[in-house]
Copies of this chain bind each other. A is one copy, B any other.
């Protein structure tokens, strides 16, 4: 078994659960937030710093790494962990979402697709087999099936075709995958049509993946639409296996996901917004570039024990962002990841006590 997963405790009033995910690298307490290291680096931070912030598993993008520097080069380097000097676990996504959102999708049929690189416009054939081969070369601990993602608003027939294709591709992914030290997760599609979601779920569960993701979200839908799918399908994902909600990472959405039984999350949100000067505090997000922080010599968040909050003032962070200094982006990224990891740790503790609903309410009352 590439991974071992145990549910240790369940919350009293919600579907939230406390778990342990064991990979070949380390033991990860769930629910867990996975920082995103798109191009084999969590932008601005060293691996050691990601660990310091509480990071135990990061997400890297097969699509980006396939294009640059190439999966074979990373294989030659001894795999992604070694290439980027990351001591924890890694999950790679298959590229399905990036082909849908970043690349120009030129042709798609049952066999696979042709896309044009968002970097140089070059053409690339991709198939489920190729996506798995790339991810085997990268060598992450958890890899994802290659799915067809559809946008919000596509009609029933289009959604159905993509969803059915995703199931057929899932079978081919399983057949291709041979690395015993990697766990291959399935991705439930079906767009925003509950009937299609039900069918996708049923078909994928029959394939007995060691973990399942809710995919095809964050594709232009409202928060409400997303939550509808989450509420209906979060609790229906197999209970003995890790449940992964892809592309979610605001404090509000993480807490909502946990309510509905989600164990794993990833998102560029904390790191990307951090680089623009948007910083998490207990009282909500602030934009440190705002001139009201120019003379504010207090720390960013009194209740935060991270190096940024203990070492620097808001006035200094403001100065760094106004001067476009690299250190500003670094410190913001570090703090935001620390803040989310702290949120997750507190949430896990609350779940363990059976008291998650109250924790969530208290957090949101202060945050919003």
Query: Which single member of B47, B77, B316, B326 contacts A326 (CB below 8 Å)?
Result: B326
What are the residues of chain B within 8 A of A316 when measuring CB–CB?
40, 77, 83-85
- Let me know if A45 and B77 touch, CB within 8 A: no
Answer whether residue A322 sits at the interface, using C-beta atoms and an 8 A cutoff.
Answer: yes
Answer whether residue A116 sits at the interface, using C-beta atoms and an 8 A cutoff.
Answer: no
Specify the chain B residue showing the minimal Cβ separation from A78.
B297
Answer whether residue A350 sits at the interface, using C-beta atoms and an 8 A cutoff.
Answer: no
Q: Report copies per complex.
A: 2
Kindly state the separation between the CA atoms of A289 and B76 in the bound complex, as whole angstroms.
Answer: 19
What are the residues of chain B within 8 A of A78 when measuring CB–CB?
297
Interface size on A, residues (CB 8 A): 37
Answer whether residue A24 sits at the interface, using C-beta atoms and an 8 A cutoff.
Answer: no
Task: From known contacts A44-B326, A297-B77, A326-B329, infer whether A312 and B39 are also in contact, taking CB-CB under 8 Å.
Answer: no
Kindly state the separation between the CA atoms of A39 and B45 in the bound complex, as whole angstroms.
Answer: 21
Task: From known contacts A85-B311, A312-B85, infer whether A41 and B77 are also in contact, taking CB-CB under 8 Å.
Answer: no
- How close is A296's CB to chain B, nearest CB, in angstroms? 10
User: In A51-100, which residues have CB < 8 Å from any B CB?
Assistant: 68-69, 73, 76-78, 83-85
- How close is A93's CB to chain B, nearest CB, in angstroms? 18
Specify the chain B residue showing the minimal Cβ separation from A308.
B46
A282-322: contact bitstring with B at CB < 8 Å (1 yes, 0 no)? 00000000000011010000000001000111011011101
- Let me know if B313 and A77 touch, CB within 8 A: yes
Specify the chain B residue showing the minimal Cβ separation from A275.
B326
Answer whether residue A327 sits at the interface, using C-beta atoms and an 8 A cutoff.
Answer: yes
- Let me know if A69 and B294 touch, CB within 8 A: yes
Q: Can you name 5 A-B residue pairings with CB atoms under 8 Å?
A: A39-B319, A68-B319, A76-B297, A83-B313, A85-B311
List 15 extra interface pairs beyond A43-B325, A46-B331, CB under 8 A. A39-B323, A39-B325, A40-B316, A41-B320, A43-B327, A44-B327, A46-B311, A46-B330, A73-B315, A76-B295, A77-B313, A77-B316, A85-B316, A326-B326, A326-B330
Interface positions of A (Cβ within 8 A of B): 39-41, 43-47, 68-69, 73, 76-78, 83-85, 294-295, 297, 307, 311-313, 315-316, 318-320, 322-323, 325-327, 329-331
